[in-house]
A and B are shown apart, each in its own frame.
Chain A
């Protein structure tokens, strides 16, 4: 560390050799640039800032454009790397510059839900990937892990979300729900009970719901 030009040089520089780890030189970087010769210059710096601001205002009256949050940038990376399974399509209803709100449609190519098309809305918050995406199923579906309001029980959307996961992982997870509906984590517990007790009846119910019709007292719109 360079000794500062302060008057009590000997005392402070001897102290610096065994400086406490509590205190640092976070601002030494500035000093070493030679722009700040003394701390009184910090005050001078504030005056320079005012001048610079006026100059900037005169030179360029334009308001600064929209800023992108770190979350938006991370989402940009996720979307640009999307590798969708062939069952899945994606749409951006608000155009190419709103990646925070989009829809995916899954058309399962095997299992109980073969032939149906199921649309999910994704809402990504500014604190993504600290917060998981908010995913809802827009298509009313007879499914043990998706309730009639469109809530989805997928562990990585809630309790098991980690910032290392991404939009691709969630899309694969949603695909898995259709090939492997799971009666152990029910959100629609009637559907789960049927799947557990009578898989044949479950299959019939799924077909009926997808074709458009009643299962019990609930009406499902056609999604085939």
Chain B
């Protein structure tokens, strides 16, 4: 295909005016090249969705792509993770996917990262202009969301500072169902704002497993949760170890025979233990296409982004709906928190008294934590005792002499004469330490 022909459709979006463009969008034939040259996109996950995303993004004009995935290729991936071949089994998904897309799409540069998302430091993530997620767990989404939101800064009027915003596009599929959502921290709800919407995982009562199993899944969970510990003294069960899985399968089979239950198979065992729902290639393709389009819209402005959560259901016919989720204004991850200006000589105890008088907070009995260090705990007595000595120390010293940082506080507030417990984010700024004034003299003079 000629270079012109190749970009014909993308250029229709980027080089022509439209009706539902983002405000201020100026169509231009150079826009595609600018996106290719300037924008760095990170794809998290190189599995079913990840393969589709890499292909879609590369074909949409993104030229600087990184992909991160800790998994290696398994035989069972090959039906839908179309960048992989039988001889790739055992190799890194990220590395093989990057290589295959670069072979097929000229001009694109994909850097693979064969590691856990937690292995990269925060700086790694700050390099990207946009993060696209093709993940299969709430934990991993929550982690990336917290990383992306950690870059977000608010101005004194609690408006997000534009250059600190790290937009995300999150895709997810489960069988015939899927979703695509746009997360612009500080503007749209973040992942944590709506995390309560996820239905809890179905868990069987332990006593049912132990006493009255009725289904094949009960037998499998019995072998996995009860029998394993009984037999393997202290050894942790590894769902990715085929020998462990085989052991659980054979024990589940014995149990099923004992109770006259049918239906225990090796693949069901894997499914129940690893909580796997069969993946459908077409769902991945549809969700990925929606995500790639949103990514293009976010960086180019060629159209308004979807607002802000698309659900797809292909179970009976096709159903697509977009729901406008709302932010949790008190969200601990993406919310602005309460701005508190202090002097660096203020002790932790004085700071706590200040929270009680603060008109917006009126927070009594505060327990305070800073990046995993518990500065003061009201309860239980054993922790109160361990943290009591901090009360007389300056807060500035306790948070490693950082002029601006976030601390979190749990406590009691009064609202309409009702006392409720709460957890709040506070943006602490030491007035005498910002604006470049960090000399000891100033601190001493106060």
Which residues of A does B touch, CB under 8 Å? 1-8, 11-12, 15, 19-31, 33, 35-43, 45-49, 52-53, 63-74, 76-77, 79-84, 90-92, 95-97, 99, 125-127, 130-131, 145, 147-149, 151-153, 155, 158-159, 161-163, 185-187, 189
State the Cβ distance, B292 to closest chain A Cβ, in Å: 17
A-B residue pairs in contact (CB < 8 Å), sample of 12: A6-B25, A19-B304, A20-B20, A26-B184, A67-B146, A70-B332, A72-B372, A73-B332, A90-B380, A96-B377, A149-B226, A187-B206
CB-defined contacts of A48 to chain B, threshold 8 Å:
163
B67-75, B91-99, B136-144: which lies at the A interface? B136-144
**A65 x B378 contact (CB < 8 A):** no
**B184 x A76 contact (CB < 8 A):** no
Which range holds the interface residue count of chain B? 35 or more
Q: Select which of A28, A68, A69 is within 8 A of B142 by beta carbon.
A: A69
- Give bound CA distance, A185 to B209, whole Å: 10
CB-defined contacts of A29 to chain B, threshold 8 Å:
159-160, 186-187
Extra contacts besides A43-B34, A65-B400 (19): CB < 8 Å? A2-B23, A7-B26, A8-B17, A12-B18, A26-B182, A29-B160, A49-B129, A67-B147, A68-B408, A70-B332, A72-B372, A73-B408, A81-B379, A91-B382, A96-B387, A126-B142, A130-B198, A151-B229, A158-B204
- Give bound CA distance, A33 to B129, whole Å: 20
**A147 x B374 contact (CB < 8 A):** no
CB-defined contacts of A159 to chain B, threshold 8 Å:
203-205
**A46 x B39 contact (CB < 8 A):** yes
Q: Which residue of A lies closest to B196 (CB)?
A: A163
Mask of B198-241 contacts with A, CB within 8 angstroms, 1/0: 10110111110011000000000000011001100000000000
Q: Select which of A7, A31, A68, A151 is within 8 A of B372 by beta carbon.
A: A68
Mask of B401-414 contacts with A, CB within 8 angstroms, 1/0: 00000001011000
CB-defined contacts of A79 to chain B, threshold 8 Å:
377, 379-380, 383
CB-defined contacts of B324 to chain A, threshold 8 Å:
21, 24
B4-12, B280-288, B305-313, B341-349: which lies at the A interface? B305-313
Q: B371 near A: Cβ within 8 Å? A: yes
Q: Select which of B143, B373, B378 is within 8 A of A80 by beta carbon.
A: B378
